[in-house]
Amino acid sequence: MEFMAVSASPYDTDRFGAALPRFSPRQADLLMVVGTVTHKQAPILLKVYEQMCEPKWVMAFGVCATSGGFYQNYATVLGIDKIIPVDVYVPGCPPRPEMVIDGIMQLQDKIARSSHPILTRSF
Amino acid sequence: MDLSIPNPVRSIFEGEQRDDSVIVNIGPSHPATHGTVQIIAELDGERVRRTDVHCGYLHRGFEKECEDHTWHNLIPYVDRLNYVSALINDFAYCDGVEQLMGVQITPRCRYLRTLLSEYSRVVDHLTCIAAGLMEMGAMTAFLYLVMIRDYMYEHLAALTGARVTHSYGRIGGLARDLPAGWLTRLEEILTQYEDFVARVHALVDRNRIFIDRLRNVGVISTGDALHWGYTGPILRSTGVPRDLRKDTPYLAYAELDFEVPVGINGDNYDRYYVRMREMDESVHMMRQLAGMLPEGPINVDDRRCTFPDKTLVYSEIETLINHFKLVMDGPRVPAGEVYCAHEAPNGELGFYLVSTGGGTPYKVHVRSPSFVHMGGAHRMLDGGQLADIVPTFGSINMIGGECDR
Amino acid sequence: MAAPIFDTLRQQLVPAAGVAAVSHGVLVFTLAPAELMPTVQRLKSEFAFDLFLDVTAIDWLGQTPRFEIVHHFYSTVHKVRARLKTRVPDADTSLDSLLPLYGSAAFMERECHDMYGIVFRGNADLRPILLYEGFVGHPLRKDYPKQQEQPLVPYRT
């Protein structure tokens, strides 16, 4: 819901480089996991993550993706970092669009500060 | 890399061996399926022979969670069912509990709940149409509708504190009353809504591409619709004017003047148009209600469910105990069961509540329209083209949270 | 404030359909499992209950018979609802499926089977719908612990 709002006007993540999604994981850099991930969905999430090529980053969008939220029961994965490594967590249920933009900007800072084995290798 | 990722579903095509058709998996992580739904389609070229629809990827154990929480505490869970029109879920659930308890809400609350239900309906239809149009490539119309939806979100955030999942309904009333200037802003938004929606009509209604893609696509007849349990705009698009707000009026709907738009063919174009007209009717109802709101308290003055005034809680022992009991044990709902249905934007949203006389429910079951609609979706998808799956699916407006609960 | 159709239904369907009462505007029949199919057939063909709303179950752990199966119907003609309640024991949780009469029963019975383990005779497709292949147990039963997870994907260390 809020993903649709944050990528459209007036919040518009396109200004920050996170344009409308590339629909194939093979062409994507950032995986935004929006909403609750259930045990039924977990294999699909893992498959999509593994289809992405390096370098890749993951954003946990929402508190359900971060830690399971208030769904502490048999059906939900209590945080996607149990399955895939996560780079930035954006809590909230749902997070305000400004928080998502802040999350994207923090991720950009993190990438700028880090030394990724592929990106910083001198060719 | 571990290649053995298990498959959570088994399709109906597993045992079959046909060499003249291709089995294609669409979803559940797919840009055009709104929400996590998987459609396994058997194709003959571009034509869809049969589909196997799998939902359940967003099953979050709502009913099991509810059994552990008090009647009040589970209102945020109820919100997150149809997270696009959260207020209607709140009010339908609170209505069910109020019927079980025998609580009558105040007149101001009744009119305000009706107004906010219609507001939620507009938001839901805007989302459905915007997403549907975007899937077909009409980005401009999408941006117009999302802009108006955003104004509405900010407006509702001024009232409830949250843009999307409001948790605003309370048993016996509402969380808080309207802030100053809210109704003025409402009128401003409704005027802008009319402007934007007029532009979308101009862009899309007579557009050759739009008509070719939606007319006579995803057709369902009235008999089929009833057989497969369709209610709401999908049933109305087949020509049947069945609407719970007119047939079995609840809240303040009996006093309002509105029409129930119906379609002709039961195809995608009809569903789009029925939703657009329903939004106009909702706006008309909101304007009537804004003029009809009586003064008075929002919450019914009943110690069994309404939280008492904080100044009294800090000074009187009985009020303190009352407050304590309401928070720790929950409102005591007499033993019994109730099925309370409201007309949600998707159809009949029903809450079946079973109480054994305590502060926590014994069972909360949601009759969710999206789930039932998914059961009959294959009737609209089979026999069509592969590219038609996208607009047809969009017009069903399956909301993952409601479908899978 | 019961609708006149309720009186007609009571006269015509009780006592074969068991006991009838009106609860919060809905006519409730409590009947034996064997009477379910004939009553629903009559409701559909004679009294225009054309919309099958819902089927769910309640787990009365400690009572026998343990499960109470609840069906809801709506008539678009009379604009009223009916509820049918029947009980099945733990030892044999099977009940007639309404799939021959209503297509919407397909998904709803799958969900009821998933959550409670009720087997609907006549519905050949009772694959898990909200849960997944490999899930053992029926989570909405009162003896299933709420937090017992059955992960499909092994957790990262």
SS3 for C25? coil
Q: Which residues of A touch C (CB under 8 A)?
A: 39-40, 42-43, 46, 72-75, 77, 81-85
Domain enclosing residue B144, as ranges: 62-367
Q: How many domains does chain B have?
A: 1
Is B321 a domain residue? yes
The bridge status of strand A30-34 relative to strand A57-61 is parallel
C131 touches chain A (CB under 8 A): yes
A72–chain C nearest CA distance, Å: 7
Provide the residue type at C92 as one letter. Answer: D
A48, B56 Cβ separation under 8 angstroms = no
The token pair that represents B57 in the structure block: 């990827």
What is the pLDDT averaged over residues A86-105?
89
Which carries the bigger pLDDT value, residue B145 or residue C13?
Answer: B145
Is B114 a domain residue? yes
A47 touches chain B (CB under 8 A): yes
C17, C27 Cβ separation under 8 angstroms = no
Domains and CATH numbers, chain C: 4-121 (3.30.460.80)
Tens-place pLDDT, residues C74-87: 998 888 899 999 99
Report CB contact under 8 Å: B29, A45: yes
Report CB contact under 8 Å: C79, B56: no
B76 touches chain C (CB under 8 A): no
Which residue is listed with tokens 């119309």? B141
Side by side, the strands of the sheet bearing B47-54 are B22-26, B38-44, B47-54
Burial degree of A123 (CB within 10 A; 0-12, 13-18, 19+):
exposed
- Mutation target to probe the A interface, by most A beta carbons within 10 A, among B59, B84, B129, B140 is B59
Burial degree of B239 (CB within 10 A; 0-12, 13-18, 19+):
middle
3-state secondary structure string across C33-77 = HHHHHHHHHHHHHCCCCCEEEEEEEEECCCCCCCEEEEEEEEECC
Give the pLDDT score at A22: 57
- Residue C1: pLDDT band (50, 70, 90) is very low
C30 touches chain B (CB under 8 A): no
Is B10 a domain residue? no
- Mutation target to probe the A interface, by most A beta carbons within 10 A, among C111, C136, C148, C149 is C149
The token pair that represents C41 in the structure block: 């057939």
The token pair that represents B233 in the structure block: 């705009």
Give the pLDDT score at C46: 87
Q: What is the C-alpha to C-alpha distance for residues B268 and B251, in angstroms, rounded to an integer?
A: 31
Q: How many CB pairs under 8 A join B and C?
A: 109
Domains and CATH numbers, chain A: 2-113 (3.40.50.12280)
Residue partners of B125: CB distance under 8 A and separation at least 6: B275, B276, B278, B279, B282, B345
User: Which domain CATH number covers B237?
Assistant: 1.10.645.10
Q: What is the C-alpha to C-alpha distance for residues B14 and B24, in angstroms, rounded to an integer?
A: 12
Is B36 a domain residue? no
Residues of B whose CB is below 8 A from A64: 60
Give the pLDDT score at B262: 92
DSSP tag of B399: -
Report CB contact under 8 Å: B150, A10: yes
Distance of CA B123 to the CA centre of its chain: 10
Residues of B whose CB is below 8 A from C103: 224, 227-229, 375-376, 379
Q: Is the peptide bond before C139 cis (omega within 30 degrees of 0)?
A: no
What is the pLDDT averaged over residues A1-14?
68
Rg (CA), chain B: 22
The token pair that represents A98 in the structure block: 């400004």
Give the pLDDT score at B6: 79
What is each CA distance from A73 to A70, C51, C60, C140, in whole angstroms? 9, 33, 21, 11
A84, C157 Cβ separation under 8 angstroms = no
Whether ipTM tops 0.85, in short, is: yes
Q: What is the C-alpha to C-alpha distance for residues B370 and B184, in angstroms, rounded to an integer?
A: 34
B61, C139 Cβ separation under 8 angstroms = yes
Tell me the backbone φ, ψ of residue B229, rounded to 5 degrees. Answer: 85, 20
C137–chain B nearest CA distance, Å: 14
Average pLDDT over all residues of chain C: 87
Report CB contact under 8 Å: B5, A43: yes
The answer on pLDDT for A88 being more than 90 is yes
Give the pLDDT score at C57: 93
Residue spans of chain B under pLDDT 50: 1
Q: Is the peptide bond before B76 cis (omega within 30 degrees of 0)?
A: no
